[in-house]
Amino acid sequence: MTIRRILVPVRGDGKGEGVLDHAVSLARRFKAHVDVLHCRPRPEDMLPFGVSVPAMLRKNILASAGTVADQEERKVRDLFDAYCERNGLTPVDGPPGLEEGAEDRLSLSWREESGKQAAVIAVHGRLADLIAVAQPDRERNLGLNTLEAALLETGKPVLLCPPRAGKPVETCGSHIAVAWNGSAEAARAVTIGLPLLAAAERVTIVALSDGAQKPLGPEALEDYLASHGIAAGVETEKTKATAVGGALMKIAHGCGGDLLLMGAYGQSRRRELVMGGVTQHIIDRADLPVLLTH
């Protein structure tokens, strides 16, 4: 298995360029195709839900919504074209076929789909190898539905891309830190992430402990990765259960990682949202790209 197609949903929220930078950086490692997808709102989605709307008002709302959608589509497409020009990239009509040499280069394309972004990604993400999304902005209530749809409804790994803070993305996937606690969620993340781990120059297993003995420690994972030809170092640290998210970020940065690989929502998503949890902490506060699996 390898990474051949990366899906990147974009909209006019100012975050598309940062997500594209992360996706393109990762795609270069695999000579993969970046499928840039803009979701055009349907005019009927702008109508008040559950409220009877007079025919004339309905007609005006639909006409206005269509105009706004046209403007938004042109704006986002112009931003995409400008990004490609700045980075020396030439968009193609779609993923490369089987012609000779098609798999020897990075490629990217643009396409439009109608509908709400989360709903579109929940369907089209199922035929991607990886989905790259912007880190949600809770203050603006933006991006969380898309992240959850990608993570919980497609069965695919999701690359969470934090803001770049004005800095270029130099590498993504060169040095991968693996969050390990011996759980089924962590093991699944490792299995799904094997192509990335095999392509990385360096892999570090990050194991946090509360002092209790675990049946599958980091040494067991080290042996497993070695059987796949992947050499890995180990970083361990004792920490409280309530401080795991922050400790993961600290150690990943400290060892020089440019990507954190981890399983998501080890406890129920609802419980994490209400009580807090490692996944929610990472989603809200990550300051390096994170590959999440569920």
Are 153 and 120 within 8 A, CB to CB?
no
Beta strand spans in 127-243 (E): 130-134, 158-161, 175-180, 202-209, 233-238
Per residue in 160-207, pLDDT (tens digit) is 999 976 678 889 999 999 999 998 999 999 999 999 999 999 999 999
Are 155 and 127 within 8 A, CB to CB?
no
pLDDT of residue 48: 59
Global pTM value = 0.88
pLDDT of residue 272: 44
CA atoms of 214 and 181, how far apart (whole Å): 8
Are 110 and 8 within 8 A, CB to CB?
no
Are 65 and 53 within 8 A, CB to CB?
no
Looking at the chain, the whole-number percentage of residues with pLDDT higher than 70 is 84
CA dihedral sign, ordered 204, 190, 31, 136: negative
| Packing angle, helices 16-30 and 55-86, rounded to 10 | 50
Tokens encoding 7: 């899906």
Give the chain's mean pLDDT.
87
Averaged pLDDT, 25-48: 85
Per residue in 86-111, pLDDT (tens digit) is 999 999 988 876 544 555 689 999 99
Q: Count other C-beta atoms under 10 Å from residue 258's C-beta.
A: 22
Tokens 């419980």 sit at which residue? 271
Q: Name residue 269's amino acid.
A: R
H or E stretch at 78: helix 55-86
In the chain, the domains with their CATH numbers are 5-161 (3.40.50.620), 175-293 (3.40.50.620)
Query: If pLDDT is split at 50, 70 and 90, which confidence band does 3 have?
Result: very high
pLDDT of residue 57: 66
Tokens 């069965």 sit at which residue? 155
